[in-house]
Amino acid sequence: MGKVRVACFGLTLDGFSAGADQSLQNPLGVHGTEMMDWFFPTDVFRKMHADGESGETGVDNDMAARSFENVGAWVLGRNMFGPVRGPWPDESWKGWWGEEPPYHVPTFVLTHHARKPLEMKGGTTFHFVTDGIHAALERARAAAGNKDVRIGGGVSTVRQYLKERLIDELHIAFRPVLLGRGEALWRDLDARVLGYELAEIIAGERCTHVVLQRVG
């Protein structure tokens, strides 16, 4: 069985991993894109989202590429899939990413409201899971086989899996910016008590990459 891991997860100097007031105009919340400014110039991002144009290589790009290696399934929170709240009004919203999302494997979306699976170009199928984080992870593990399950976020989803000690590896992209308000990753969580310790620290061009692993 592969790992359950979080990768390329942004964290600011003041402890936030998403800005406040997520909307169609601000998918990561107000000023949230500043947290991911290390990722946008990379060759990995540019080839996914900029019509195949080349981007920067280097440490940040290497870490971005590493985050996609050996991933057999994803788990996303409802907010990561889109800004729609409550019951689905229809099935017109298909995510932030256009017709070909960057996942390319089965992707399980946590929600309180049922919706039939959504097949997209490039091998991504979104499955909407209404019976909680454990059920979503069980289905993702089954789909991934011997590969890893990547917990894609958002913050609430990662926090829920951390509380249950279900994440084996957490890669944080630590950015020297301040959001002022938003969603705090570590609020009321004790990483030591949860069993996490520092495994790697790598200086990138625009952020510091910190990898935590769960031990014991």
CATH of the domain at 179: 3.40.430.10
User: pTM, whole model, 2 decimals?
Assistant: 0.94
Tens of pLDDT, residues 143-185 = 999 999 999 989 999 999 999 999 999 999 999 999 999 999 9
Instruction: Determine the pLDDT at residue 97.
Output: 87
Please give the Cα distance from 77 to 80 (Å, whole number).
5
Average pLDDT, the chain: 94
Give the count of domains, the chain. Answer: 1
Q: Encoding tokens for residue 187?
A: 């609020």
The mean pLDDT of 3-24, rounded to a whole number, is: 93
Q: Quickly count: other Cβ atoms within 10 Å of residue 22's Cβ.
A: 21
The mean pLDDT of 200-204, rounded to a whole number, is: 98
Please give the Cα distance from 28 to 31 (Å, whole number).
8
Q: Is 127 a domain residue?
A: yes
| pLDDT range class, residue 22, cuts 50, 70, 90 | confident
Instruction: Determine the pLDDT at residue 50.
Output: 59
Instruction: Determine the pLDDT at residue 27.
Output: 81
Q: Is 1 a domain residue?
A: no
Q: Encoding tokens for residue 79?
A: 């907010």
The mean pLDDT of 49-60, rounded to a whole number, is: 85
Q: Give the structural domain span for 196.
A: 10-85+100-214
Tell me: pLDDT of 216 over 80: no
Q: Is 112 a domain residue?
A: yes
Q: Is 4 a domain residue?
A: no
Q: Is 59 a domain residue?
A: yes
| pLDDT range class, residue 12, cuts 50, 70, 90 | very high
Q: Is 5 a domain residue?
A: no
The mean pLDDT of 42-52, rounded to a whole number, is: 83
Higher pLDDT, 176 or 26: 176
Residues in contact with 144: Cβ distance below 8 Å, sequence separation at least 6, in sequence order:
2, 71, 72, 73, 105, 106
Tell me: pLDDT of 18 over 80: yes
Q: Is 166 a domain residue?
A: yes
Q: Is 92 a domain residue?
A: no
Residue 107, amino acid: T
